[in-house]
């Protein structure tokens, strides 16, 4: 048995964890009750459906889209925003995700964003870089969209999958070397992400490096098994409560 100051610190830490869990569970339970009285379904409008299908090249398109998103309840709920991003920008976004990567043009094509993803302001995701081996770095000489070089001259453009329930802080830059941000991962504000981020891993810095892992192993396994991010909010809240209330071995 440990004794002295070390044992005292371990005891205090255990007590603090228990107290935190006791506080968190009632909050989740209250949230579950509140969610049951709130409309959380994804939302669309007739004009929004028409707009996303027919208005790719009209003046003031982005302003009109912003207005429709507002009418449909914002980024969290707007199905028109998701349809427009997929149709016009090849950016796929799951339900209840929000943030600056949902602003048209902030994420390069071949971007897939999961459900319940939180993204801070001024985040950019780049799927391509200027060709270092080229005599000139100007896009005239590699981007066919500019009309100087033929189709097939473009630089490689990578895809990325941003996992469910992850959190990307403000002013993060995601470079082409990052192909996957895991479920429940956290990227600290101002980071430059150059490689993949595993599930539940916390990274920060330039370049971003691992600074920790979220939750206990049993909690991570329970979340991956229950997949609450695939459920609507009321059901997800119940799943989270059951995981938090599960006895620990």
The single residue of 54, 110, 130, 138 carrying the catalytic annotation is 130
Strands (E), 87-168: 91-93, 111-113, 118-119, 124-125, 160-162, 167-168
d(CA 120, CA 103): 11
Is 130 a catalytic site residue?
yes
d(CA 175, CA 206): 11
Yes or no: say if 240 and 165 are a contact pair by the CB < 8 Å rule.
no
Yes or no: say if 142 and 149 are a contact pair by the CB < 8 Å rule.
yes
Yes or no: say if 212 and 231 are a contact pair by the CB < 8 Å rule.
no
Residues 6+ apart with CB under 8 A from 153: 141, 142, 143, 144
User: Which structure tokens are listed for 46?
Assistant: 């007739």
Q: How far apart are the first and last CA of the chain?
A: 20
Q: Catalogue the active-site residues.
A: 130
């Amino acid at each position: 048995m440990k004794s002295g100051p070390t044992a005292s610190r371990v005891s205090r830490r255990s007590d603090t964890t228990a107290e935190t869990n006791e506080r968190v569970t009632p909050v989740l339970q209250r949230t579950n009750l509140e969610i049951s009285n709130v409309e959380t379904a994804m939302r669309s409008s007739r004009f929004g459906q028409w707009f996303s299908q027919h208005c790719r090249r009209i003046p003031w398109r982005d302003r009109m889209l912003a207005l429709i998103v507002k009418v449909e309840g914002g980024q969290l709920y707007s199905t028109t925003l998701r349809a427009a991003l997929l149709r016009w920008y090849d950016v796929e976004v799951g339900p209840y995700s929000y943030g600056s990567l949902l602003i048209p043009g902030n994420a390069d094509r071949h971007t897939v964003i999961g459900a319940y993803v939180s993204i801070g302001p001024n985040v950019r995701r780049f799927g391509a870089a200027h060709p270092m081996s080229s005599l000139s770095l100007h896009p005239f000489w590699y981007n066919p969209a500019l009309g100087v070089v033929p189709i097939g001259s473009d630089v490689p453009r990578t895809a990325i999958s941003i996992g469910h329930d992850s959190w990307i802080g403000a002013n993060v830059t995601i470079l082409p070397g990052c192909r996957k941000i895991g479920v429940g991962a956290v990227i600290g504000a101002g980071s430059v992400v150059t490689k993949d981020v595993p599930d539940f891993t916390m990274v920060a810095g330039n370049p971003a490096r691992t600074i920790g892992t979220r939750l206990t192993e049993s909690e991570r396994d329970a979340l991956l098994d229950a997949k609450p991010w695939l459920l609507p909010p009321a059901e997800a809240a119940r799943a989270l409560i059951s995981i938090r209330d599960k006895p620990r071995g």
